[in-house]
Amino acid sequence: MGYKICSKKTYEAMVQEYNEILTKGLNIDIRRGRPATEQLNLSKAMLKCKPTDFIAKGTNADIRNYGLPTGLPEARKLFADLLGLTPDNIYVGGNSSLNLMYDIVANCLLRGVLGGERWLNSPKVKFLCPVPGYDRHFRITEDLGVEMINVKMNADGPDMDTIEELVSSDPTIKGMWVVPQYSNPTGITFSDEVVKRMANLKPAADNFRIFWDNAYCLHHLYEDKQDKVLDIIEECRKAGNPNMVYTFMSTSKVTFAGSGIAVVAASPENINFLAKQFDTATIGYDKINQMMHVEFLKDAENVHKLMMQHAKIMRPKFDCVLKTLKAGICNSNVATWNSPRGGYFISVDVMPGCAARVVDMAAKAGVFFTNAGSTYPYGKDPQDSNIRLAPSAVSVQDLKVAMKVFCLCANIAAYEKYNF
């Protein structure tokens, strides 16, 4: 392919610049979507929230004791309000929505879903994986022995033609991973049409489930430009598929990433069924932490205010990445990227066959990006093109340096692959 990247002179200047950077001993890590210390400090007051009354609202249950396995009523209500649902749609779990997803996939395999056989009774178990997607989703299904099938992500969501065809014809396809709003990593939000088509799927498997990870539903970057994905639970209900979807969210990036609370939202039938399955595994999740969250977060309006404080910290980082990319990528062939309105990531496609090389070159210079390939099942990006940038944890100053290195590596790798 004869893409013209830059002149030989420019290339040589860039190589020299890169070699100089190698001597600087940089150490900048933008691998994972970790909140910055400044963001964690926004919720410092939560640790001062002490339940004064230990009896959960409308019950006679002491929150310090066993009981209330579906969660504190106050917490169920708060999340219902945040999601536009009712408390019977909500199961409040522990500190990790990823853990809830893992447990549900394991339970589907071993014990089945509401109204369907356990997945392990199927000769094979397959999941559809819109790509690029979230590496930790793919790791769950890989480690639990589920076969993964790539489906292309478009600007309005995954390619629904492919999904409809596969899901309706193959009864061994039991599930699908999606991040519907400010998607990880592409940052896009599913269009209403995509959501409606998803809700109207006619799966060949009666135990098919969509794993709808709405991790970034609250994570807008702007006050005025906000995406909002359609309510999949309501759309599934209207489509006559009320139990086809499990949705997830957590406060990991609202309060504390290590000590948030995680939620499953689904149809009341699914919630009752899940609660029964989870009841074998636990006598209930940590209700003191739930109470601290309720006292600190107060109500949906207050949560949105808190999220705008997060946005204020995040926005300059996103701006810095986008600006540095624009200035530093020498040619529109070399890389394309998105400008998301929320979430935690910027997704860059460098030239095919260059991603692993770029990540490797940057690592040698002390700048660490998520492994090339990690946004694809089995860590295999067939184009070797996608790189996920996670700017949250790093200062704007460091980001600027990191992104300059990134641009340099992307330019050099492209030149060496296509212009040598």
What residues line the site for its own copies (CB under 8 A)? 32, 34-35, 37, 40, 43, 47-48, 50-51, 54, 62-68, 94-96, 98-99, 102-103, 106-107, 109-111, 120, 136, 139-140, 143-145, 252, 256-259, 277, 280-289
Q: Which residues are CB-neighbours of 19 under 8 A, at least 6 positions away?
A: none
CB of 209 to its own copies, least distance (A): 17
Q: Which residues are CB-neighbours of 332 under 8 A, at least 6 positions away?
A: none
Cβ closest to its own copies, residue 54 vs residue 222: 54
In the numeric block, the tokens 């600190």 are attached to: 296
Beta bridge partners of 388: 347
First to last CA, the chain: 11
Nearest Cα residue to 128 out of 179, 171, 166: 166
CB of 260 to its own copies, least distance (A): 9
CB of 277 to its own copies, least distance (A): 8
Cβ closest to its own copies, residue 282 vs residue 302: 282
CB of 337 to its own copies, least distance (A): 25
Amino acid present at 103? D
| Cis ω before 185 (30° cut-off from 0) | yes
CB of 199 to its own copies, least distance (A): 28
Cβ closest to its own copies, residue 189 vs residue 277: 277
Cβ closest to its own copies, residue 337 vs residue 376: 376
Distance CA 302, CA 291 (A): 16
Sheet strands (E) in 266-401: 335-337, 346-350, 367-368, 386-389
The runs of H, that is alpha helices, within 42-96 are: 73-83
Cβ closest to its own copies, residue 269 vs residue 279: 279
Cβ closest to its own copies, residue 280 vs residue 332: 280
Distance CA 416, CA 7 (A): 12
CB of 67 to its own copies, least distance (A): 7
